[in-house]
Amino acid sequence: MNKRLNIGILISGRGSNLQAIIDGIERDVIAARVTVVISNEPDAYGLTRARTHGIPTRVVDHRSYRGREAFEDQLIKTLKEFQAELVVLAGFMRVLTPHFLQAFPLRVVNIHPALLPAFPGLDVQRKAADYGVRFSGCTVHFVDEGVDAGPIIAQAVVPVYPTDTGETLAERILKMEHQVYPRVIHWIATGKVRVEGRRVFVDGAKMDEHLSPIEPSF
Ligand code: GAR
């Protein structure tokens, strides 16, 4: 691919979504390049994954800063240093304030392991299983000033069984995350995504791709 979007990925842990994105780029199905991976947790396994693929990494530990703004200033500085045009949150467990978002307006995306607006927040796979819902899934959305609240770009649905635990459901959802997130990043990278208020339009995407993309088609 000729033109590639520069993306900066923020993580806090395992980095399996990061891996799915790296794999998509290496398979040449995402028109992007990861210019930097930043973790707020020094021991995040995702940092090792990035290094294995020759991607620059940085640790910006929130505990080393006096407040959120100072932490976010360092994130912004690092992302700009690596010329990130899109910020991809992949299991990044800190809430970003308007201070950060103003630096990247409508240029921050997140993946959440539930069908928003149901089950925002933390430990949501267990909450969905305990609630007894029949379906859950994942949501990729633009990040705005609310928590897990911005315009929805794509959702994928999985069944929930009465025997599910948080772990079994999380595993089922994660498989969908790995399919949906790379696809959405490719859509954004190729200029297909348009936002009107809360509604997000994806040029050329089949209607069912907005719902539950089982077979990834880029
Ligand atoms: C994923 O399930 C992601 O949806 C979730 O954390 C996990 C990270 O896994 N994100 C959130 O809960 C954000 N609030 P990974 O590090 O293996 O990609």
Q: What is the pLDDT of residues 147-199, one digit of tens each?
A: 999 999 999 999 999 999 999 999 999 999 999 999 999 999 999 999 999 99
Q: Within this chain, do residues 11 and 84 fall inside the same structural domain, yes or no?
A: yes
- Say how far apart CA 132 and CA 124 lie, in whole Å: 12
| Residue nearest (by alpha carbon) to ligand 1 atom 10 | 91
- Say how far apart CA 116 and CA 143 lie, in whole Å: 13
Better-predicted residue by pLDDT, 212 or 156: 156
Residue in the structure block whose two tokens are 């940085």: 58
pLDDT above 80 (res 61): yes
Q: Would you place residue 207 in the very low, low, confident or very high pLDDT band (cuts 50, 70, 90)?
A: low
* Average pLDDT rounded to a whole number, residues 6-13: 98
pLDDT above 70 (res 47): yes
Q: Within this chain, do residues 155 and 170 fall inside the same structural domain, yes or no?
A: yes
User: What's the total number of domains in the chain?
Assistant: 2
C-beta 137 within 6 A of ligand 1: no
* Average pLDDT rounded to a whole number, residues 30-36: 98
Ligand 1 atom at minimal distance to the Cα of residue 138: 4
Q: Within this chain, do residues 82 and 116 fall inside the same structural domain, yes or no?
A: no
Question: b/e per residue, 45-66, with b = 16+ CB within 10 A?
Answer: ebbebbeeeebebbebebeebe
Task: Examine the fold and report which residue of 80, 105, 130 is the final residue of a domain before the chain moves on.
Answer: 105
Q: Within this chain, do residues 12 and 87 fall inside the same structural domain, yes or no?
A: yes
112 belongs to the catalytic site: yes
Ligand 1 atom at minimal distance to the Cα of residue 173: 2
Q: Within this chain, do residues 190 and 139 fall inside the same structural domain, yes or no?
A: yes
Q: Within this chain, do residues 182 and 99 fall inside the same structural domain, yes or no?
A: no
Q: Within this chain, do residues 136 and 70 fall inside the same structural domain, yes or no?
A: no
Angle, helices 166-189 vs 16-26, to 10°: value is: 40
Task: Examine the fold and report which residue of 65, 85, 105 is the final residue of a domain before the chain moves on.
Answer: 105
Q: Within this chain, do residues 33 and 121 fall inside the same structural domain, yes or no?
A: no
| Residue nearest (by alpha carbon) to ligand 1 atom 3 | 91
Tell me the CA–centroid distance for residue 196 and ligand 1, in Å.
Answer: 27
CB contact at 8 A, 5 and 188: yes
Range of the domain at 116: 110-218
Q: Within this chain, do residues 130 and 218 fall inside the same structural domain, yes or no?
A: yes
Q: Within this chain, do residues 202 and 98 fall inside the same structural domain, yes or no?
A: no
The helix/strand/coil state of 61 is coil
C-beta 188 within 6 A of ligand 1: no
Give the CATH number for residue 77.
3.40.50.170
Task: Examine the fold and report which residue of 67, 88, 105 is the final residue of a domain before the chain moves on.
Answer: 105
C-beta 113 within 6 A of ligand 1: yes
Q: Within this chain, do residues 115 and 184 fall inside the same structural domain, yes or no?
A: yes
Better-predicted residue by pLDDT, 210 or 74: 74
Ligand 1 atom at minimal distance to the Cα of residue 15: 16
Indicate the Cα dihedral angle 25, 96, 119, 169, nearest 10°. 40
Q: What is the pLDDT of residues 90-147, one digit of tens each?
A: 999 999 999 999 999 999 999 999 999 999 999 999 999 999 999 999 999 999 999 9
Question: b/e per residue, 97-117, with b = 16+ CB within 10 A?
Answer: eeebbebbeebbbbbbbbbbe
Q: Which of 53, 112, 141, 178 is catalytic?
A: 112
Check residue 204 and give its pLDDT: 80
Predicted model pTM:
0.95
Ligand 1 atom at minimal distance to the Cα of residue 177: 4
Q: Within this chain, do residues 78 and 147 fall inside the same structural domain, yes or no?
A: no
C-beta 103 within 6 A of ligand 1: no
Tell me the CA–centroid distance for residue 174 and ligand 1, in Å.
Answer: 8
Check residue 216 and give its pLDDT: 39
Structure tokens at 5: 């979007």
- Say how far apart CA 140 and CA 45 lie, in whole Å: 22
Structure tokens at 97: 């304030």
- Please state, in angstroms and as integers, the Cα–Cα distance from residue 188 to each residue in 47, 85, 116, following that order: 24, 11, 20
Tell me the CA–centroid distance for residue 1 and ligand 1, in Å.
Answer: 28
